[in-house]
């Protein structure tokens, strides 16, 4: 079987396991390339359907094209779209761009805390009403017990140690030392009340695999990934104050694939343009133990 086919089939299998075993299942969609591939794989797994909600943590500092892209695909693909936000931190301006927080504190406020409280249902969730095209406060506040996340093992150190099904305790914490074994395509689908499981169908994919798959399947992606004529593009998408575009003339997905395979990015790490990683001593471990994606 071809490399991409192998990856695709394994991911589809994992998605179906998750759907069969978790009643309150949701998928994090950051609008980036990885979680968009994940969304596409979901449509593969369920024959064109997406049978669980997609959750976006909106930090309010996302590049505007990302939100437009999100809502356009949500309507087009009939997605059950939910977003969550740390309204309080934004109101009190406890953010890095406002000068009141370090980059890491800002990530914690706008991403980690927003994620935790959106997943457990303690903060309001905003759900897309397909009839009006507007977001409304969701009446359902049940906690999610299974969360599908598009992390890849090749991104950085701590992600390379993840399980496909990875438990999070009551405090949303990840205990790396105590991870249970995982083998023979059997996964952790049983969990104690109050805990939840993160599901990682993309663990074995590399950045190059992602782009080759986007090219092969012709998956729609945000135009920010492509050079629009000024000789720059985003290689990794995040909040605009902390994510810098890279110099590149890649104007098509095919150009990106070539650039990664043999060109200028074949030896430069993907998250090089993310400033918060550097503050954390070269890894996201501190953030991730607390529940960051």
Partner 1 sequence: MSNQERDEDMNVAIVGHVDHGKSTIIGRLLADTNSLPEGKLERVKETCRRNSKPFEYSFLLDALKDEQAQGITIDAARVFFKTPKRKYIIIDTPGHIEFLKNVVTGASRAEAALLVIDAHEGIQENSKRYCYMLSMLGIKQIAVLINKMDLEDYSQSRFEQIKTDYAEFLAKLEMKPTAYIPISGKEGDNVATISNKMPWYQGYTVLDQLDLFLNQKDPEDQDFRMPVQDVYKFTRDGDNRRIVAGTIISGRISVGDEVLFYPSNKKSTIKTIEGFNTPPRNTVSAGYAVGVTITDHLYLKRGEMMIRADQAKPEVTSRIKANIFWLGRNPFVMGKNYMLKIGTQKIDMELEKIETVIDASSLDYQQKEQVNRNEVAEVVLKLKSPIVFDLPHINILTSRFVIVDDYEIWGGGIITEALSDEKKAYRDKLMLRNYKWERSMIDVDDRAEHYNQRSCLILITGEKAVGKKAFAKTLEKHLFLEGKHTYYLGIGSVLYGLGSDIKLSEKNNHEEHMRRLAEVANILLDSGVILIVTATMITQEDLELIRSTLVMPERLIPIWYGGKIATNIQVAYQIYNDGDLDGAIDKAKRILQNKGIIFKP
Residues 51 to 70: which contact partner 1 by CB under 8 A? Answer: 51
Per-residue contact track with partner 1, 78 to 107, x per CB under 8 A?
A: x-----------------------------
In the bound complex, what is the minimum distance in angstroms from residue 12's beta carbon to partner 1? 4
CA distance to 168, 188, 239, 250, 273, per residue, from 209 (Å): 28, 26, 24, 17, 20
Give residue 135's Cα distance to chain centre. Answer: 20
In the bound complex, what is the minimum distance in angstroms from residue 169's beta carbon to partner 1? 12
Q: Is 163 in the site for partner 1 (CB under 8 A)?
A: yes
In the bound complex, what is the minimum distance in angstroms from residue 55's beta carbon to partner 1? 20
Counting Cα atoms < 13 Å in the Cβ hemisphere of 81 gives 27
**DSSP letter string over 165-226?**
EEEE-TTS---STTPPP-BTTB------TT-EEEE-TTTT--HHHHHHHHHHHT----GGGS
Q: Is 48 in the site for partner 1 (CB under 8 A)?
A: yes
**Contact between residue 243 and residue 273 where contact means Cβ atoms under 8 Å apart:** yes
Contact residue for partner 1 among 98, 228, 231, 268 (CB under 8 A): 268
Residues 5 to 44: which contact partner 1 by CB under 8 A? Answer: 5-6, 8-10, 12-13, 16-17, 19-20, 43-44
In the bound complex, what is the minimum distance in angstroms from residue 246's beta carbon to partner 1? 13
Contact residue for partner 1 among 117, 158, 166, 243 (CB under 8 A): 158
Choose between 99 and 184: whose C-beta lies nearer to partner 1: 184
Helix, strand, coil share of the chain (percent; to 5): 35, 15, 50
Contact residue for partner 1 among 102, 141, 160, 252 (CB under 8 A): 160
Residues 107 to 146: which contact partner 1 by CB under 8 A? Answer: none
How far is Cα 4 from Cα 167, in angstroms, rounded to an integer? 27
């Amino acid at each position: 079987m071809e490399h991409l086919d192998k990856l695709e089939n394994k991911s589809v299998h994992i998605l179906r396991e998750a759907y069969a075993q978790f009643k309150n299942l949701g998928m994090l969609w950051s609008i980036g390339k990885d979680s968009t591939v994940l969304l596409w794989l979901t449509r593969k797994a369920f024959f064109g359907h997406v049978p669980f909600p997609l959750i976006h943590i909106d930090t309010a500092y996302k590049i505007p094209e990302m939100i437009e892209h999100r809502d356009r695909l949500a309507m087009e693909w009939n997605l059950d779209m939910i977003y969550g936000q740390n309204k309080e931190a934004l109101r009190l301006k406890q953010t890095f761009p406002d000068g009141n927080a370090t980059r890491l504190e800002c990530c914690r406020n706008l991403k980690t805390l927003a994620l935790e409280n959106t997943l457990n249902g303690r903060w309001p969730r905003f759900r897309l009403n397909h009839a009006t095209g507007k977001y409304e406060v969701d009446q359902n506040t049940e906690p999610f017990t299974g969360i599908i996340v598009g992390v890849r093992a090749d991104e950085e150190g701590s992600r390379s140690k993840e399980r496909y099904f990875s438990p999070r305790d009551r405090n949303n914490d990840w205990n790396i030392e105590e991870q249970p074994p995982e083998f023979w395509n059997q996964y952790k689908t049983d969990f104690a009340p109050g805990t939840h499981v993160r599901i990682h169908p993309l663990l074995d994919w590399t950045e190059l695999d992602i782009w080759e798959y986007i090219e092969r399947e012709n998956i729609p992606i945000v135009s920010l990934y492509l050079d629009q004529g000024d000789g720059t593009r985003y290689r990794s998408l995040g909040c605009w104050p902390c994510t810098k575009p890279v110099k590149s003339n890649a104007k098509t997905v095919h150009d990106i694939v070539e650039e990664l395979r043999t060109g200028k990015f074949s030896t430069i790490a993907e998250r090089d343009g993310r400033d918060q990683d550097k503050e954390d001593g070269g890894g996201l471990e501190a953030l991730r133990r607390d529940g960051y994606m």
